[in-house]
Every structure is written in structure tokens, then in C-alpha cells.
Structure 1
Amino acid sequence: MADSSLPTIQQPTVGRLRLGRVAPHVLGAASAVALGAAALPAQAQQASQPAQLPTIAVEGEKPAAAEGYRVEQSASPKFTAPLLDTPKSVTVIPQEVIQERAATSLTEVLRTTPGISLGSGEGGTAIGDRPFIRGFDAMSSTYIDGLRDTGAQSRDTFNLEQVEVTKGPSGAMVGRGATGGVLNLVSKTAKAEDFTAGSLTLGTDMTKRATADVNRVIDNNIAFRINAMAHDGEVAGRDEVDITKFGFAPTVTFGLNKPTRLTLSYFHFQTDGLPDYGHTFDPRTGKPISVSRDNFYGLTSRDFRETYYDGLTAQLEHDLTDNTVLRNTTRYAYAQNHYIVTKPDWNTGTATSPVNILTNGRIERETRSRNADTETVVNQTDLQSEFDLGGFKNAAITGIELAREQTKNRGYTLSPSSTQGDLYNPNSSDPYTGTITTSSQFANTRVATMAIYAIDTIALAPQWDLNLGLRLDDYRTNSYGTTQNGAFDGSRHDTFVNYQTGLVYKPMPNGSIYVAYGTSTNPVGSSAGEGGDEGNVAANNETLKPEENRSYELGTKWDLLNKTLSLTGAVFRTEKENARVSGVTNTAEQLPVGKQRVDGFEVGFAGNLTRAWKLFGGYTFLKSEIVDDGPNASNDGKEFPSIAPHNISLWTTYDLTRDWVVGGGAIYTARRYANTANTYELPSYWRFDAMVGYKVTENVDVQLNVQNLLDETYYDATHAGQFATVAPGRTALLTTNFKF
């Protein structure tokens, strides 16, 4: 683990990593660590027995995550039935789609899924992956292999098998948060075969990337696997913005194919880049200001972002019987997120009007900073079993979860903290002659969770299944620190219950219709793991009761064309009660009186239309509404910020010949309001991608991707309308993949 002491910067210069420095670290680490992984296999439901629950099989290797784009079973054991028979909307993005789209970040992966909007951090919310699922923030509802992954990060794809997006309140499955849904990142696991694989990528904007994937089996009892990655490149269409990152992930499993198995996994990932808050909004139009897309307002002599993550996981499994598995998983994780970023702003705090400032061609270069470290220890024990009770067949999982999270955040003090620059021709090389030191203000937050849960799928009749879930959480949090307004010290203790229920009817073996209801809870301080002010417990919020969320859903799922194509559809409503809103005269005051609602429907598809033609994507409609904003009545009836009412995503490939494949994608995101008052907005956009691949030999193929083919200027995200982050321009990537 890296030194967790908080660094002090005495001069405005920060060293930058380059690929030449990264590669030796990656190769050295890869050769020094032996690894492997085993995963519990999951059996798909047989079409001839529509109500039969999945058999728990614990011997042998995990089957392939997907056949083509279609996935039958979640990797999480908390899904006690195949996805076809699960009364929830679940989108699984398989590795094949990730690779074909040349997605190297979680952000790029999530573009593949309609119904997810992207947000940004600023001030009280740290920079990092911030997806909104069905209208609600899921930054603190991100999981790796079923365990909560705290600490704001910008994640890579090199160790991902697939990404699972569960939509709708999921408190019965995961506990706090999960208002709009949950992300579960499924790590690559060992296979019962020896192979060596990897890729080399060269691209526009100085992009260089290399990955390695090595799997070995020893005496059929020990499996090990290592994945490693090194990446260096700039961001298309953004002057000076770049990113360097590397990581490696070894695992080793003892007792492969034995009744008792032990898997040890380690994950290391770090980045060094120049952060980018994009452009300011124009108060005259309510849209991002009309300047060159390349305009970057940061300072290369001052701004930086460095992240660091170490995670160590141990999983012990024992087969009590052929149908019962006892599992214990423990993880320790340490995450750092340190940065200074320039926020372009027309508001100088002077009497001069914003319009005049824009007209005069000047921009304020404000700064935001973070110096946060997060430590997490979580232990989860569960019993997965299949049994008959009262004449009904059950597939159930029960468990206990214990977790402790601690975040320490000290920003940086800059003097001066703001300078001015040229709005239309900014110079990122302008010198910064001020001083940078570690701030005397700090915020420390601790969260302790104890929970018990049970989830069961009951076969009521040949065509009827009932899904039930219940979870009890004991949640304690406390925060202390200092701000510019003085010291704070607060604590909170909540006990809450969440549940889910769903009824599934199967008119045919390959189709299901379901109704479902679920709840979730957001206690005060529930975002503390992100290291943001929103996770602090203080006088303005420690007496507030938790936010309560509930969702109603009616959906259907069908496997067509001999189970090669999956189609899904759902209509839903999510409601939030006790939503925390700001006071009028004292905006720091929080009141638990708000109500919010999202109505919507979605359709999805994944699989093959023909042997040569594959499709993945869907459409989502969301109607968000601030039903009651408490004393801020002028916001009543307004839409949620950052949420697009219409979202389309499509990816398709076609095998022209045995050796040649072509593919393309389209993404449409409708206009999104940028602030609660709905006075600023991010414009709608279409983005198109293209791919062509050629199989050189049975072991080597070459793939060319062009992302944002038409070089569209569009904006990814915002935070309360304070800035608009600019998405990458046209990017071309040439990748050689190999596997022996």
C-alpha cells in the first residue's frame, strides 16, 4: 500500500508520468506475481422446463460470460434465477462489446447503455466516474464482484469480463443508495486452459496502449491469471489534456475443482493526467459558450490529477452439499484521488456583469482541489442453496455483511486561488507564480455497516416464479473537520429495512412477463466513500431522516431466434420521499421535505439477427420531475439536472467473410438541463462510431476503430451548471489482438 500520509506541495510543479516510465513497472509487476481466479459456475434455465430454477454447480470452470452479445446469467449469486426469469431490468455489457468498441474506460463502456447519463464532480463531489441510472446518482453504488467499491475513481477496462447494470431501487440486494440502480464490474477470472493473450494499440493524439493476459493451470488444482495494462495518450479535440495510466491484476486459486477453494486476488491501478472542466456556460444563451472546442483554460504548470488504487481480495468457498455453497469474501481497498483543476467561470465576484466579462473576452480561472484517501474493509459471508420447502422449489441466498469505510480529505490552498485569462485564445502555458500548500481545512468521515439479507426465487407452478428479497442494515457514520465557516463534528445512526418482490409469468419457455416492486434508502452521509462534502455529517443534516425510494415496474423478456437474440422491455416509476433540499435564506441548511419522481420506459436488444449479424443496444425514455422542492417552490415541476429524456444506443457488427468484419455504432442523447432551475442546458447530440476488423491468422487479428466519426462537438457532463465538460473529438485506434 502506498504511503497514506497527505502530501504537501510547496511549489506549483508536478511531475508527469510517461509510457517509458510506466512499462518497466508493469512488466516487472507482471513477472513477479503469480495469479489465478475461479468463479462459481451458473447454469442457465432449460427451455423445456420453464419454471425450473438454476442448478448450483460448483465444480469446473465458469462458463463463458456470453455467447455473442447475449448473457443468460448474472455473475452475482444474488441473482437467484436466470436473467430471463428475473423481475428486474438488467443490462449486461459483455467483454466482446467492450473490445469491439475499443472502450478503454468505464465512461466509454457506459455510453453503450441507454438510460445512463454522465455527471461530473465539483467542490463537494470528487472527480471520478459518476453515472446517473434512471435519473439518480450511482457514484457510490458501484461494485466490483459484488462488493461496494468506494472512493471516487476513473476506471479502466483491462481487467473487466463484463459490466452489469441493474436498474431500479436495489436496497434489498446491496443496502444503502442504489436509488436508480447498481453497477457491478465483473473481473476477469481464471480459465481451465493455458493461454497467452494481449493487445497493442496505436492511435491518433499520441495514443499508445498495451495489455497482457496470461492464464495457466497447474495439476488441475491451481489456476492463475494475470492481466496488465499500460496506456498513454492525449484527448482528441482538447489542447494539452492527456492521461497516463497503468495497472495489473493477479489472482491465484487453490483447490480448483475441489470442494474447498481459496482465491486470492490483487488489483493495482494508477493514473496521472491533466484534469479538464471544459467550458463555462454563456448566461446569455443558457448553453455552453460558443468558443473553439480546443480551448483549454487550465494551467499546465499548476493543474494535475493523480489517482492510486490497491485492492486485495480473499474468497473462501466450501461445498456443503451438491446444492449448497458456503462462501466468505474479504476485501481491503485503498484509494487516493489528488488533484488541482481549473474551473472556467464568468462570475468574478465583482460588480461587473457576466455579460460584460464575456463581451470583453476575459474568463476567470477559478480552482478546485482534493487530497482524499479512502480505506475500505468489507467482509461478506453468504450461503447459496437450492432446496424444496412445502412442496415448492427454492433457489436462495442468505448472508451477512460487515463493512468499514474511512475517508480523509484535505484540499490544497492556492494563493491566489483565481486568475484571469483570455476567453477566446487561452494560453495553458501562462505561468502560475503563486503558492500551493496543503489546506488547514479537512474532513474525516467514517462509516460502519452491519447487514443481513436473504433473496429467494420460488417456483410456485410450472409457469410462475416468485422473487422475494429482504435486507436489514445497521448504519453508523460520523464526520469531523474544519471549514471556512468553522469546525464541525456530527454523527448519525440509522437502522433501515429494504425489500423487493416480483412475480414472473412464463407464457412460453423462451419468454417472461413480470411485475416488481422494490425499495432503497439513502441515509445521511451515504456518499461518504467518495470523499466529498456531501458525505459529511454536520449540524445542518445530522438530524435528518433517510431518503426513502420505491419503484414499480412492469416488464417482459424474450429469447428469440433459437435463443440467439434477447429482447427486453419495461415501464417503470421511481419515487423519492424525504429528499433533502436547501433552505431559502440559508442555502447550507438542509430540509427532508422534497419529493422526486421518474417515469419511463425502455427497450433493449442483444444477440444475433443472423449468424453474421449481431446487435446490442436500446432506447430509454425518462420523464423526471421535482414534485416538491420544499421552500424552493420555483423548482417544482422542473426536470432533474443532467438527465436526458431520450437516449438511444446501438452497436452492430457484420461478418463480411470468414476473415473480415465491419461494425458501427450510434448514440443519441437528448437535451439535458444542467441545473435544478432548468435555466442552463447541454445540447442534444448524435455520435457515430465505426470499426473494421481483419483476422490475419487464427491467433492474430487487427482492428481499426474510429470513435466520433463525424468529429461532433458535444458535452459529456456538468455539475449544477457550473461548467460543461467537452467530450473527445474524432479518435482513430489501430489495435492488434493476439491469443496463443
Structure 2
Amino acid sequence: MDTSSTPTPQSADAAEQPSRQGRNMALSIAFSSLFAPAITAAGVPEAELPSVNVRSEREGSYKVDRSASDKFTAPLLDTPKTITVINQELIEERGATSLVEVLRTTPGITLGAGEGGTPIGDRPFIRGYDASTDLMVDGMRDLGRVSHEAFNIEQIEIVKGPGSAYTGRGSTGGSINLVSKAPKKENFYAGSAMLGTDQTRRLTGDANWLLGDQAALRLNLMKHEANVAGRDGPTVSRWGVAPSLTFGLHGKTQATLSYYALRTDDIPDQGIPFDTVNNTGLPAQVDRRNFYGLTGRDYRRTGADLATVDVSHQMEGGGKLRNVTRYSKSSNEYVVSRPTMQNAPKLPGYGMVTRRGVGRALENTTLLNQTELTGKLHTGGIEHSYAAGLEFSREITYNKGFSISNTAPIADLYRPDPGQPFIGTIVKDALAVRTKHNTRAAYVFDTMRLTPKWELNGGLRYDAYDVSTSSGRRGSWDFVNYQAGIVFKPLPNASIYASYGTSSNPSGEAEGQIGGADGVAGGGLRQPPTPPESNRSVEVGTKWNVLDDRLMLTAAVFRTEKVNGRAIEPTTGLVELIGNSRVDGIEVGAAGNLTPAWTVFGGYTYLRPVLRADGAGGNSGKQLKYVAPNSFSAWTTYKLTSQLTVGGGGNYMSERFVDDSNARKLPSYWRYDAMVSYKVSKHLDFRLNLLNLSNATIYDASHVGIYATIAPGRSALLTANFKY
């Protein structure tokens, strides 16, 4: 599903941006006292900008015309690939404050859970395949397994289908790119103050100062505290800061220096155990508020720091040369209770819940550099829009476990006491397993306009990838991936396309130690790491801009296949590339305006995910775990008056199996949300979000059918938005 909205930061008109910022963000009273003196002290007069006629029907739109990434060398309408773009306005209107909250209401995406070996953090599944290591920030890989915040996000781009040509290793089902806010050519200071149920308190600030004619400084701040609706025990606490400084705003050479920091300190939640006593295949039927963790033992603390230097030069003839360097460091440390029903009748506590402690301490450091040349040229009567680049990266992960004496008291299934004392010990391992990734890559993309009605779109990437661990394990491979598509334009506002894409999953692409198995039981250190898995996808679709270019409609049918997945060979017990899985699907979507006052966003995805071969696993023919065959989402707002806007929507997800044998599953659910906003003046508006109106019990994810994590229950959030 392709979606669109206001232009990306790189192409936004200077006069249109104040209007959009006024709709989306404003300054809270707390940050007003901080930013106002700073602007006065800078002594910079308000910029006089030329007037521009803005089409009123595009105000409040969710329609985005181009990706923020220059690797997509055509407008989204003419890109032969499904790309869902969720802009800042939609994020805020739905009351989302984190990436998980956005993805929870996006069709075609399900969520997975972590524990000890699989780190706790954002773990989306796109079109049936894990994308936890396919998260990008401004087009560069973000390896750290953390929970991403929304306070510094301009838009979220979800690229569907195998895409190693765009991202490098991984991207079996797709990738997610978080586009950061950047300095603007205007003075403003804005922000919000939120109060809600479950002791929710949130402040954000967003200020931009012009520093003379050629420089601008932008600063985003956030502080968030809350309990979790419908749960007794888990808490959320985080803060973030993101300054960015741009030089050369009106020149041919532009440089942006940016820094992003996020810190979290939560009591994590592993949800409710599966009922293994009655073997229902479902989570235990208990009060949703039951929390089986220990508030005196469990914790999760994460940190993320990203420092980026982005330099670009507009060359004579229209080409642009850009170089981006980023150093990032992230950490994720936690101890969490794994709730498991005691199902041995002869043991004490039969039917009770054990609270085995599991923990992990991860630290990731990354140094990346991308150099990219983009532009247009003509050869033999064919118009080319191209992007070509080089990428170099070094990623190092340090992975430590915990030795936890599991003497935690057993919990009553129906009346757990999270305040019970933990009298055991927690000792972090002295040595860490170090995993080092080195990547050298070259890529090229081209959109060739053959005639006004026919276009060819292609991309090719070569990766030289090396991974090694402190235990002496090492793998080194070269792989090539590509993207190819043909586009027919029956009308200027429409496209019909067919495309083919590939991706590669090398051993050790995620955190932790590589072995022959690399995530599959068996093999281990008895064999060398296996070569990369190969994935491929074919997609046929159509995209239409209708209603005077206000609304984009999309539809696609596709097949994604992992042709040589890792699986245990039955006779040797070693891991070989003999597995196979396939996901067939249909996806439709809509984004934009039905009228100047009426906006819509949504879609439906059908997936048929099949594990076709898994060696000795014995589950061939089963449905892939964690994947919902049917998912639907719709959101709409209507401006009743110039001051009053109402909105609402719902999303549906069908049953998902959570183990390879399909013996355990999460039930289907419907969720409904509503919103009303009132504009008091051009400087102040209020928004009320009512989330999960029916207070449905929604199971977000599971870790191989041991327990099921739970989404928040009914909640209400009142936000005051200020803008000056």
C-alpha cells in the first residue's frame, strides 16, 4: 500500500511548512518559557518569506508523493513496489508516541516478542518475515534493539517485499525507515503537553531558529511517564533530545550536524502465560490486569545516541553529491520474569505460575558512511533519474547474559502479587560475546522513461560482508541483489506495474554469536556458518491518484519466497540450506482526502504464509508463526467547522499461530479508536484521543508460545498543542 502526505523535508516549500507545523505540533507552556528567551537572545528577526498559494484541499492530507530516500528515483505513484508512508500528522492524530503504537495499527504488520536469546525491543514482522534488524534511521541501518520513540519522527516509510538492493543484508519481508525532523527555513517554536489515564504525562518541544541567512538550528525535546492501561505493575519512563544544525540553507553546499539521544527506564511486561495445564492452545483465561513480574527485581533500561554529519553539494547540471557519516551507540539491559504455568501434577504449585528470571545486556556501536550521487540525464532519447553510491560500515555488538538464582516466589495464577520480594542474586556475566560486522557495498538505481506511458525501474547492489565473533567464528560472503520493475501509465495520474526483487540473509546478521544454526536449534559449533539465505518476490500492482490528486488508491498481489532457509538435515543433524517458506498475498490501500475536509487512511492485507520445508522439524505445510492471514485498518477525520475536527477508526487482526507446530495461537481482535480536536486560536488547540474504546483484550505477540504480551486497554489522552 502506498501512502502520501505533505512533501518530504528535503523538498518542502518554505511557506507551506509553517502551515503544516501549526497543524501538527505546538509548544507546551513548560517549553515556552525555555524557547522564547532563546529566540530573543539570538537577536534574529522573523524571516520575511515570499507568499505561496497553498491548495486548501491538501491541508490535513495523509498523501505523500515521494520517499525521503533518493534511492527511490521516481515518485511513489510510479515506483513499482508497495510503500506505506505514515506522516507526522497521522501519527499525532492517532495518539501514537512510539513506533510500536504506529505499527500496531498498520495492516500487513504483526509484532513479535523477545526474551533472553532474542532481545526485547521493536520486532515487527512484515509480510510474514522478521524485520527487527531491518530498521533504518534516515536510510542508514539502526542495528540496536531498542524501542523507538516518535518525538523526532517526520514520517515512517514501510517498504514491502525483499529489498536488499535498497538496504543491504536482510529485508526479507521489507524494511522500515524512520525519517527524522530537520532544520527549516523559518522561525517557530512549538510543542505539546499531554495528560491521560494511567498517570500518563508527556511533554514535547519543537523549536527552529534562523541563525542569519544561511543557517538554522532545530531542537526537539521529550519527556514521557506512564503506567500501562489495563495492567497492574508495568511502567514506562523515557526522555529524549534531538538538536540539529544546518549551514548553507540557500547555497549549493549544505551541511547538517545532528545528534539524537533517547533514554528509557521501564518495568517490562511479558504478559500472561499460555494455559499448559488444560492445553487450550491459548493464553490462560485470567484477569487482564494480572502482572506476573516482580516490581522489585524486573527492569529494562535502554539508551540510544546517534551523531550524524550530512553534507551535500548541488552540482552544475543538476546532479547532487551527498556524503553522510554516522556514529551510533545503543544499549539494552534488562531482567524480566518469564511467566510459565507449572503443569507437572506431582510437583508443588501445580497450576501456579513460575517467574523464572531471564536477562540480557547488549551494547551496539556502529560507524557508517554513505556517498551518493543523484540526478537526471538523457541518453538516446531516454530520460534517466538515477542514484549511485558507496556504503561502508562497521557494526560491533557486545552481548552479555545474566546468572540469576531463580528463587522468585511462585505466583498464584488468579491473584499474582508483583510486590513479593526476590531474595536471590543477579550477576552479570564477566565476559561478553562480541560480534563484528564489516560491510563494503556499491549500488545503483535508475528510472528510465522510455515513452510518456512506459518506464523501467531497476536497482542493483553488491555487498562484501564479513562477520566474526570473539569465540573465533567467522563468515565472509559476497552477494548481489537487485530490484527490477516495469511501469505502464494508462493516464498521467495512474500506473500499472510488475516487479521482481531479491534479498540475502547471511549468518550472524543480527546480535549474538554465529554458529552453523544461526538461530536454528542444532548444528552449533560443529560446522562452519552457513552461506546466506536467498529470498525473492514478484509483485503486480496498480496505483491511482484520484479526486483531483487528493487521494491515492493502491492494490497489489505478490509472492515472497525464502528459497533456501536454514533447517536441520534429518540424517546428519547439521544445519543446511534446505528449508523453504512462501507468503502469497493481496494488499489494498487508500490515503488522502475525499474532500477538503475529509481525510482517510487505511488498507487490508491478506497473507497465506506457509512453511513449505523445514528439514527435521517435521512442520512442513504448517502456517508460519507470528503472522496474521488477515489484517485491516481504517482511520478517518472530518472537519466539522474551521475549529472542530472529529475522527475515528478501527483495526482488525485475525488469529496468529505462535509456534512452528501450530499448536498455540493468539486470538483475533478488533480495536476501535476515536479523536476530537478543537482549535482555540492559531496558537492553541486541544486534542482528545480515546484508544481501544471497547477495552478489548489484545494479545500483541508471543515468544514461541510460552507467554503472550498484552497491548494496552482502554485509555484517554488529552493533549494541548501550542505554536508560536
Q: Same fold (TM over 0.5)?
A: yes
Match of 1:455 in 2: 445
Q: Structure 1 302/205 Cα, relative in aligned 2: closer, same or farther at 3 Å?
A: same
Deviation digits for residues 293-315 of structure 1 (CA, Å, limit 9, x no counterpart): 01101111110000011110001
Equivalent runs, 1:443-522 vs 2, <5 Å: 443-480=433-470, 488-522=471-505
What letter matches 1:526 in structure 2? E
| Separation in 2, partners of 1:185, 1:200 | 23
- Residue 278 of structure 1 pairs with residue 271 of structure 2: yes
Equivalent runs, 1:434-449 vs 2, <5 Å: 434-440=424-430, 442-449=432-439
Q: Structure 1 467/347 Cα, relative in aligned 2: closer, same or farther at 3 Å?
A: farther
| Separation in 2, partners of 1:366, 1:591 | 33
Q: Structure 1 70/270 Cα, relative in aligned 2: closer, same or farther at 3 Å?
A: same
| Separation in 2, partners of 1:137, 1:267 | 26
Which secondary structure does the structure 1 equivalent of 2:681 belong to? coil
| Separation in 1, partners of 2:415, 2:313 | 64
Which secondary structure does the structure 2 equivalent of 1:99 belong to? helix
Deviation digits for residues 66-124 of structure 1 (CA, Å, limit 9, x no counterpart): 96110000000101000000000001001110010110010111123210001111222
What letter matches 2:611 in structure 1? I
- Residue 697 of structure 1 pairs with residue 681 of structure 2: yes
- Residue 73 of structure 1 pairs with residue 76 of structure 2: no
| Separation in 2, partners of 1:219, 1:330 | 26
Equivalent runs, 1:233-632 vs 2, <5 Å: 233-283=226-276, 284-346=279-341, 352=345, 360-416=350-406, 419-440=409-430, 442-480=432-470, 488-528=471-511, 539=525, 542-582=528-568, 589-632=574-617
Deviation digits for residues 186-236 of structure 1 (CA, Å, limit 9, x no counterpart): 001111111110000000000000000001112220011000000001000
Number of corresponding residues: 673
Shift of the alpha carbon at 1:489? Answer: 2.8
| Separation in 1, partners of 2:413, 2:319 | 65
Q: Structure 1 685/89 Cα, relative in aligned 2: closer, same or farther at 3 Å?
A: same
- Residue 655 of structure 1 pairs with residue 639 of structure 2: yes
| Separation in 1, partners of 2:643, 2:494 | 35
Deviation digits for residues 6-27 of structure 1 (CA, Å, limit 9, x no counterpart): xxxxxxxxxxxxxxxxx99x97
What letter matches 2:68 in structure 1? A
Match of 1:19 in 2: none
Deviation digits for residues 390-427 of structure 1 (CA, Å, limit 9, x no counterpart): 22110000000000000111122112365422111110
Deviation digits for residues 343-394 of structure 1 (CA, Å, limit 9, x no counterpart): 001257xx547xx888x44111112101111000000001111111222110
Checking the alignment, whether the CA contact within 8 Å between 2:119 and 2:145 is kept in structure 1 is: yes
User: In the alignment, which of 98, 103, 122 is matched to residue 105 of structure 1?
Assistant: 98
| Separation in 1, partners of 2:419, 2:310 | 50
Moved more, 209-218 or 413-422: 413-422
Which secondary structure does the structure 1 equivalent of 2:472 belong to? strand
Shift of the alpha carbon at 1:551? Answer: 0.2
User: In the alignment, which of 107, 110, 113 is matched to residue 117 of structure 1?
Assistant: 110
- Residue 131 of structure 1 pairs with residue 124 of structure 2: yes
Which secondary structure does the structure 2 equivalent of 1:288 belong to? coil
| Separation in 2, partners of 1:602, 1:450 | 35
What letter matches 2:460 in structure 1? L
Shift of the alpha carbon at 1:590? Answer: 2.9
Checking the alignment, whether the CA contact within 8 Å between 1:400 and 1:451 is kept in structure 2 is: yes
Checking the alignment, whether the CA contact within 8 Å between 2:645 and 2:677 is kept in structure 1 is: yes
Checking the alignment, whether the CA contact within 8 Å between 1:281 and 1:289 is kept in structure 2 is: yes
Checking the alignment, whether the CA contact within 8 Å between 2:570 and 2:615 is kept in structure 1 is: no
User: In the alignment, which of 708, 719, 722 is matched to residue 735 of structure 1?
Assistant: 719
Q: Structure 1 656/529 Cα, relative in aligned 2: closer, same or farther at 3 Å?
A: farther
Match of 2:666 in 1: 682
Moved more, 684-693 or 365-374: 365-374
User: In the alignment, which of 131, 135, 159 is matched to residue 166 of structure 1?
Assistant: 159
| Identical amino acids, percent of aligned pairs | 48
Checking the alignment, whether the CA contact within 8 Å between 2:221 and 2:240 is kept in structure 1 is: yes
Which secondary structure does the structure 1 equivalent of 2:615 belong to? coil
Alignment gaps of 5+ in structure 1: 1-22, 36-63, 481-487
Deviation digits for residues 126-179 of structure 1 (CA, Å, limit 9, x no counterpart): 000000000000000000000001110101100000000000110111110001
Shift of the alpha carbon at 1:541? Answer: 6.0
Alignment gaps of 5+ in structure 2: 1-29, 43-56
Shift of the alpha carbon at 1:578? Answer: 1.6
Q: Structure 1 541/598 Cα, relative in aligned 2: closer, same or farther at 3 Å?
A: farther
What letter matches 1:558 in structure 2? W
Which secondary structure does the structure 1 equivalent of 2:447 belong to? strand
Shift of the alpha carbon at 1:581? Answer: 2.1
| Separation in 1, partners of 2:398, 2:547 | 53
- Residue 646 of structure 1 pairs with residue 630 of structure 2: yes
| Separation in 2, partners of 1:313, 1:594 | 40
Which secondary structure does the structure 1 equivalent of 2:411 belong to? strand
Under a length normalisation based on structure 2, what TM-score does the superposition of the two structures give?
0.90
Shift of the alpha carbon at 1:610? Answer: 1.3
Which secondary structure does the structure 2 equivalent of 1:301 belong to? coil
Q: Structure 1 700/131 Cα, relative in aligned 2: closer, same or farther at 3 Å?
A: same
What letter matches 1:704 in structure 2? L
- Residue 673 of structure 1 pairs with residue 668 of structure 2: no
Checking the alignment, whether the CA contact within 8 Å between 1:65 and 1:161 is kept in structure 2 is: no
Moved more, 431-440 or 610-619: 431-440
Moved more, 176-185 or 412-421: 412-421
What letter matches 2:508 in structure 1? G
Match of 1:85 in 2: 78
User: In the alignment, which of 703, 721, 733 is matched to residue 705 of structure 2?
Assistant: 721
Deviation digits for residues 706-735 of structure 1 (CA, Å, limit 9, x no counterpart): 100111111001121121001100010000
Shift of the alpha carbon at 1:623? Answer: 0.2
Deviation digits for residues 424-463 of structure 1 (CA, Å, limit 9, x no counterpart): 1110110011111112463210000000000000001111
Checking the alignment, whether the CA contact within 8 Å between 1:361 and 1:424 is kept in structure 2 is: no
Under a length normalisation based on structure 1, what TM-score does the superposition of the two structures give?
0.88
Checking the alignment, whether the CA contact within 8 Å between 2:408 and 2:423 is kept in structure 1 is: no
What's the Cα RMSD here? 2.5
| Separation in 1, partners of 2:99, 2:699 | 17
Deviation digits for residues 30-55 of structure 1 (CA, Å, limit 9, x no counterpart): 979x99xxxxxxxxxxxxxxxxxxxx
Match of 2:695 in 1: 711
Deviation digits for residues 580-625 of structure 1 (CA, Å, limit 9, x no counterpart): 12466998x5332100000000000001111211100100000000
Checking the alignment, whether the CA contact within 8 Å between 1:490 and 1:538 is kept in structure 2 is: no
Match of 2:47 in 1: none
